[in-house]
Amino acid sequence: MGHWMAIGIVVLALGTGACVPVDPSSPHERARALSSELMSPFCPGLLLSDCPSGYAAELRAEIERRLVAGESTSHITDDLAHRYGRDILGDPPATGLGLVFWIALIAAAAVSSVLVAYAVRRSSRRRADDAGARHVSRARARELAAKLDDELIELD
């Protein structure tokens, strides 16, 4: 049984290995990865990799040529941010107004979490109070019905 399991693991490993790119660090693969992280300066709201513009195709080719020439990804992104503006990076910088944005985003998330927790807690308490009130009112109703029955018996 152990041999068959080992053979199964080897076959599975070989089968999944066929789906992995041969050289994930090739300039072509790195250029595609970088193009899917950068915003297109030619197609607002689209990633560089998704932009159908001819200018975007030229920029993708330039990125690949620069990677083939040995430039680092960070050097290329810094140059592109200098040429096209920081919007190409997609993320606001963590300095100046960008830092204010990140702090506001984190604060909004924290406040939202607190408000949701408060609403859930308040709702669960209200349901518990309502259930207790129904229990008390049913008990009170039974008590009053019994008292009414007693008084009706006394009248007879």
Q: Are residues 79 and 99 in the same domain?
A: no
Residue 31 shares a structural domain with residue 86: yes
Q: Cα 34 to chain center, whole Å?
A: 20
Question: Using CA atoms in the order 13, 16, 19, 20, what is the torsion angle rounded to 10 degrees?
Answer: -50
> What residues are paired with 39 via a beta bridge?
47
| 68 plus 9 within the same structural domain | yes
Over the stretch 89-124, which tens digit does the pLDDT of each residue have? 887 666 666 677 778 888 888 888 888 888 888 877
Work out the percent of the chain whose per-residue pLDDT is above 90: 34
Q: Comparing 72 with 2, which gets the higher pLDDT?
A: 72
Is 96 in the same domain as 21? no
pLDDT for the residue numbered 12:
52
pLDDT band at 149 (very low <50, low <70, confident <90, very high): confident
Note whether 84 and 98 are same-domain residues. no
Q: How far is CA 154 from CA 21, 35, 131, 140, in A?
A: 94, 92, 35, 21
CA distances 17 to 21, 92, 102, Å, are 8, 37, 40
* 57 lies in the same domain as 97: no
The CATH number covering residue 70 comes to: 1.10.8.640
Same domain as 122, residue 54: no
Which tokens belong to 23?
Answer: 């050289």
Of 45, 73, 91, which marks where a domain is finished?
91
pTM comes to: 0.47
Structural domain of residue 38, as residue ranges?
1-91
Count structural domains, the chain. Answer: 2
**Mean pLDDT, range 34-58, rounded to an integer:** 92
Q: Report residue 90 as tokens.
A: 């997609």
pLDDT in tens, 75-84: 999 999 999 9
Residue 93 is predicted with a pLDDT of 61
